[in-house]
Amino acid sequence: MAGTSASREDSQSPAVRQRVGSASGGKSVQAASDSDLSHEQKWARELKVFLYVPNIIGYVRIALLLAAAFAWREAYTSLFFVSYVTSQCLDAVDGAAARRLGQVSIVGACLDQVVDRLSTCLLYVLNASVYPDFAFAFFIALFLDMGGHWVHFFAAAVVGAKSHKTMDPEVNAILSVYYRSRPVMFSAIVGFEGFFMCLLLLASPVFQASAASLSSALLVIVYVTSPLMIFKTLTNLLQGLYGARRLVACDIFGAPSS
């Protein structure tokens, strides 16, 4: 344990100090330039970032999630499905747009993470409402998802990582595979979403009144995607633990001052 801790200090602390120092220098330059701007000019500069194309896509995704929630309440199952799936498909578009247009931003990364969590939370809550006997299990999944991602995202920001997907060398093997293999991450996310979506659709009056073959197909998808759902839930737990360890390391070896 002592050797591991020492190696972590050697490998992480210089990088953390360098990033914090760079960030502090950047803040000083930014503060100096901002002091020369009027209130209107500062607001115009901020508004420009808020109106980046990928950020606008994020706002559209939120609107689609609200539309999906409303559609489910009004029993418009088809509208719910289309709204939710469209919101999820746009998740791949915003990142590509940010890189292509040179509009990568910190607020955009945060917005993307928030919308992703809102998406899965919507599925958790709706499933808990239609399967009250299993509501506790859905809430546990929600806690692991929200808590794990938040701690991991926060820890990445504290240590100065450029992305929450940046892993330390000693990261858990499962998380390493999840974050460093695009096919694994894509399959896990699609399977995870597919599991909860199909489970929810099985409780819809529209699908219950439809042909038995359609309900059977949804049930098959639930069974097929269940291992991916379990794997993704495990990564939610592990990234929370990993983030917590990174924060504890900052406490032990010296957290960067704000």
Rounded to an integer, what distance in angstroms lies between the CA atom of residue 172 and that of residue 177? 9
Active site residue 116: yes
Active site residue: 34, 116, 145, 251, which one?
Answer: 116
Cα–Cα separations (whole angstroms), residue 176 to 167, 180, 181, 225, 229: 7, 6, 8, 21, 18
Q: How many helices (H) does the chain have, and how many strands (E)? A: 10, 0
**What are the structure tokens assigned to 31, written together?**
């503060």
**Whether 193 contacts 81, CB under 8 Å:** no
**Whether 175 contacts 239, CB under 8 Å:** yes
Active site residues: 116
